[in-house]
Structure 1
Amino acid sequence: MSSVKVECVVKVSALIGEGPVWEESEQSLLFVDISGQKIHRWSPSTNQIQSLETGQPIRNVQRHSENMTLSHTSRLFSGETVGFVVPRRSGGYVAGVGRSIVAVDWSTQMMTSLLEVDEDKKNNRLNDGKVDPIGRLLAGTMGKEERPAEVQRQQGSLFSVNSDLGVTKHLSQVDISNGLDWSLDQKTFFYIDSLSLTVDAFDYDSHSGHIGNRRVVYRMEAGEGLPDGMTCDADGRLWVACYNGGRVIHIDPATGVRLQTVSLPVMKTTSCCFGGPDYSDLYVTSASLGLDQSGRRQQPLAGGTFRVTGLGVKGRPSNSFSG
């Protein structure tokens, strides 16, 4: 087997780096800093990083349908966390800012609110989100942390947003809605609610977006930390970033067996995705929030983004939101 190499390629120290997505058209890596309230775009070829702050004015829009007008009453100004960013088929990106799904125009650095979720839970925020193979966005919420690592439990939900911006709630009483991805045949949806310490699977109907038949495909072992963001490779196996575990684990959801562990020089590994010209590079984000001075000395690369090469597997292109 080829030798695995781990290097820190983006040394910007994020408070909570999260949600890496490889954007094929730009050959660049998108990721967010949740608490730093920034969306980053990094080019491996130039090593340049561009950033957009989400703590800026968000335009509201009026949506017109055949027989009604939907006007939005969400906040005009955002000092909000950003949970995820994904490409949008019509151009630009869509991000989860606070409890709002917003359209992001990178060229003008403008954000426009499309809709809001969990309107009855003002203390919630959007966390991880990902687009399914037909262009539907799935995104989850969680209670805001009163203090780092102190989350209000069972406050979150899991939603999907379809191309006409219709919203469906699939799950409630979620602790920390996190990693999501789909099997190669699109018939299985993989999902992580971090505090359950499991990776779960659902039957998935890609036509309707319905999920059902929840079951556990992997149970975290002692010392592995909390399951966080994840990605599915071209062989249908899962790669799960382990928060407070300093590692990414490679698991076979069919057997529940851990196939490999990739150790990183930081403990708060948060999420991962495959990228690069042939999708053979695994990018891993991390967090620095909550580390004391001693922790920062021991982990000087905390909050950086890492590239893992030599794994001998490839990932799949990301999907773009159809709305």
Structure 2
Amino acid sequence: MPETHEVVYFGEPFYNSACELGEGPIYRPEDNTLHFVDLRSASIHVLPLSSYDIKTTRAEIRIPSDVVTAIAFRKDHPRSYVGSTTLGIAFVDENNGAIQMRKQLLPESIRGKIRFNDGAVDCKGRFWAGETDEEACQIPLSDRSYPPKGRLWRFDPDGTATQMLDGIYCSNGIGWSPDNKYMYYNDSCGLLTRRFDFDAESGTISNCIDFADFREPGDSKTPRTAPELLERLLGGEPDGLVMDTEGNIWIALWNKGCVLCFKSDGELIREVRSNDAKYMTCPAWGGEKLDILFCTSAKLSGEGGSNGGKLWRFDAGKQWGVRGQAKYKFAG
């Protein structure tokens, strides 16, 4: 299958964040800072961009008492995040990393087997966060003897937690179309990006379809229904995702060293490749016009390429005239 989409390159890394597993970047326009986590070192990084200098600028680092796997800003609490920790949903103090557990959804006994992973806030200020079944992720997709036990949750501002999905391998990127009619959701180790109809008022999802299917032939016993992808992209794990104002979906592809851009009809139109960073993890929009594409990456046990674990930057506004969709804030 010939390549029909545009391929460009990030260039050199933007910042040497030295993350083992960098994830979940979010941009705050009020002070022009980029916030992201490192799951392996259990740290939160705050990188100032206003006076950024590649030689001298360093991120402020917070070390919480537990691993914080995802963060989002709170609407009326400017120095506090809502986030997922290993076992549940919490508020996290930006100043010192202190954790205030709001809803523990996993028992302590399951630590090391199932944990929370990525999360995002919808247009009504609800925080969605999902789990990763670490044992199921080690088993080939074609082996159905061990069904995955990961779940997706919706945490409302009033403190209510509602299970929305189950049977998830590795819960990852979540995003909503600009008109909030659709929700996109990545199951990384399941090698699928799904699209749901989304009811903004009730916060419910329905009518699941396979939007992008990265499974290799023989990996699944179910028919492939998503548009066909290039063979070289199969086996890549769809990690974090963000939306732009045109309704395009931007997905970091773990194991393939790139960020892909899909139109809402599933057509692959753009690819931003890294320079030797195999494990690209999560994109984010930043800058005054929200037209700069940032992306975190990972370097695990020395693997992931010479630039793995670093932060990447691409001027998507200059290249294509696109702008990112602003992130919502948690209403509680």
Alpha carbons 2:9, 2:274 under 8 Å: kept: no
Post-superposition offset of 1:171: 0.6
The match for 1:321 is: 330
Q: Which whole-Å deviations, capped at 9, do the CAs of 1:122-148 have from their partners, x for residues lacking one? A: 4311101000011000000012369xx
Post-superposition offset of 1:7: 3.6
The match for 2:105 is: 117
Asked whether 1:95 is paired with 2:83, we answer yes
**Alignment map for 1:270-281 (pairs within 5 Å):** 270-281=281-292
**Alignment map for 1:95-174 (pairs within 5 Å):** 95-119=83-107, 121-122=110-111, 123-144=113-134, 150=138, 154-174=148-168
Q: Equivalents in 1 of 2:90, 2:135: separation in Å? A: 22
The alignment yields a C-alpha RMSD, in angstroms, of: 2.1
Post-superposition offset of 1:322: 1.0
Alpha carbons 1:240, 1:271 under 8 Å: kept: yes
**Alignment map for 1:136-285 (pairs within 5 Å):** 136-144=126-134, 150=138, 154-220=148-214, 221=229, 222-224=231-233, 225-254=236-265, 256-265=266-275, 266-285=277-296
Q: Equivalents in 2 of 1:18, 1:133: separation in Å? A: 22
Alpha carbons 1:83, 1:96 under 8 Å: kept: yes
Q: Equivalents in 1 of 2:282, 2:147: separation in Å? A: 21
Alpha carbons 1:23, 1:318 under 8 Å: kept: no
Higher strand share: 1
3-state SS, counterpart of residue 173 of structure 1: strand
The match for 2:221 is: none
Post-superposition offset of 1:121: 4.4
Distance 1:145 1:18, change over 3 A: farther
Alpha carbons 1:218, 1:253 under 8 Å: kept: no
Distance 1:321 1:300, change over 3 A: same
Q: Equivalents in 1 of 2:250, 2:131: separation in Å? A: 22
Post-superposition offset of 1:253: 2.4
Amino acid of the structure 2 residue aligned with 1:227 = P
Q: Equivalents in 2 of 1:311, 1:18: separation in Å? A: 25
Distance 1:110 1:41, change over 3 A: same
The match for 1:303 is: 309
Q: Which whole-Å deviations, capped at 9, do the CAs of 1:86-131 have from their partners, x for residues lacking one? A: 1011311112111121211223442211111234844311101000
Structure 2: 5+ residue runs without aligned partners?
1-5, 52-56, 140-145, 215-228
Distance 1:303 1:273, change over 3 A: same
Alpha carbons 1:126, 1:142 under 8 Å: kept: yes
Q: Equivalents in 2 of 1:99, 1:205: separation in Å? A: 27
The match for 1:82 is: 68
Structure 1: 5+ residue runs without aligned partners?
57-77
- Between the two proteins, the alignment pairs up a number of residues equal to 291
The match for 2:36 is: 31
Amino acid of the structure 2 residue aligned with 1:27 = N
**Alignment map for 1:38-49 (pairs within 5 Å):** 38-46=43-51, 47-49=57-59
The range that moved more, 245-254 or 102-111, is 102-111
Q: Equivalents in 1 of 2:49, 2:194: separation in Å? A: 33
State, as a whole percentage, how many aligned pairs show the same letter. 28
Distance 1:135 1:7, change over 3 A: farther
Asked whether 1:22 is paired with 2:16, we answer no
Amino acid of the structure 2 residue aligned with 1:239 = W
Alpha carbons 1:15, 1:34 under 8 Å: kept: yes
Q: Which whole-Å deviations, capped at 9, do the CAs of 1:203-262 have from their partners, x for residues lacking one? A: 1111111111000122234332111111010100000000000111110122x1100111
- Normalising by structure 1, what TM-score? 0.84
The range that moved more, 201-210 or 86-95, is 86-95
Q: Equivalents in 2 of 1:154, 1:239: separation in Å? A: 26
- Normalising by structure 2, what TM-score? 0.82
Post-superposition offset of 1:199: 1.5
Asked whether 1:288 is paired with 2:299, we answer yes
